[in-house]
A and B are shown apart, each in its own frame.
Chain A
Amino acid sequence: DAGVTQSPTHLIKTRGQQVTLRCSPISGHKSVSWYQQVLGQGPQFIFQYYEKEERGRGNFPDRFSARQFPNYSSELNVNALLLGDSALYLCASSLSSEAFFGQGTRLTVV
């Protein structure tokens, strides 16, 4: 099992653009969560999805949205990108309370 996989690994976007990040969970895991990690800080919770439904949302603006597909993979979308959205975006899947993290997508907004 390759573990949680995320794509792309790196991305450069311009302010105002939109971006889609993708995540494939560990086989059998129905829960996917997204985190944003800004340099020098710990990961900050954005969303959790379970069985294709949003279970929780962190303190992020409506420019951030996500969805989960029938195969439990997930996409995170960010619209109208700001310089402050530059960060490492982490996806985690879980069966219970233990979260397994992907390598992350490094987003740079210029």
Chain B
Amino acid sequence: AQRVTQPEKLLSVFKGAPVELKCNYSYSGSPELFWYVQYSRQRLQLLLRHISRESIKGFTADLNKGETSFHLKKPFAQEEDSAMYYCALLFGGGYNKLIFGAGTRLAVHP
């Protein structure tokens, strides 16, 4: 069955520290993976997608098919990075269904 697992509910770091938010997936086909972010009182928005292989706000994520992982990384956390982060898998099957993990709350302290 298709599934996305984010093992940490909360990740707490100090400003300037490296950040890694973990995401593992279970999918039999070729996965298309995303990271969505939700800042306080804002709507859920796309942060990055693996097919674009770009860095957004200093965040990167690499798809590792061998480990079925798509971890989100940033070398130096900023206070404005504090938010809820969701990893999502696109289940094609003829329609666009996103399967989300439970989310990780990132708290960056000054």
The interface of chain A, by Cβ under 8 A from chain B, is: 3-4, 31, 33, 35, 40-45, 48, 50, 55-56, 58, 90, 92, 94, 97-104
Contact = CB atoms under 8 A, between A and B. Distances in A.
Interface of B: 4, 6, 32, 34, 36, 43-46, 49, 86, 88, 90, 93-103
Given A48-B95, A50-B95, A58-B97, A102 B43 contact: yes
Q: Across chains A and B, which 3 residue pairs bring their CB atoms closest together, nearest first? A: A42-B100, A56-B95, A55-B95
A42 B101 contact: yes
Nearest to B46: A98
A104 B45 CA distance: 12
Contact of A101 (B45, B49, B94): B45
B43 A103 contact: yes
B90 A45 contact: no
A104 B93 CA distance: 26
Contacts of A98: 34, 46, 49
Interface of A is mostly: strand
A94 B43 contact: no
A90 B44 contact: yes
Contacts of B99: 45
Contact of A43 (B49, B95, B100): B100
Contacts of B46: 98-100
Contacts of B100: 35, 42-44
Contacts of B4: 42
A33 B49 CA distance: 19
B98 A43 contact: yes
B3 to A, nearest CB: 11
Contacts of B94: 55-56
Given A48-B97, A98-B49, 7 more contacts: A33-B96, A55-B95, A56-B93, A94-B96, A97-B96, A100-B45, A100-B46
B43 A104 contact: yes
A4 B43 CA distance: 10
Nearest to B44: A101
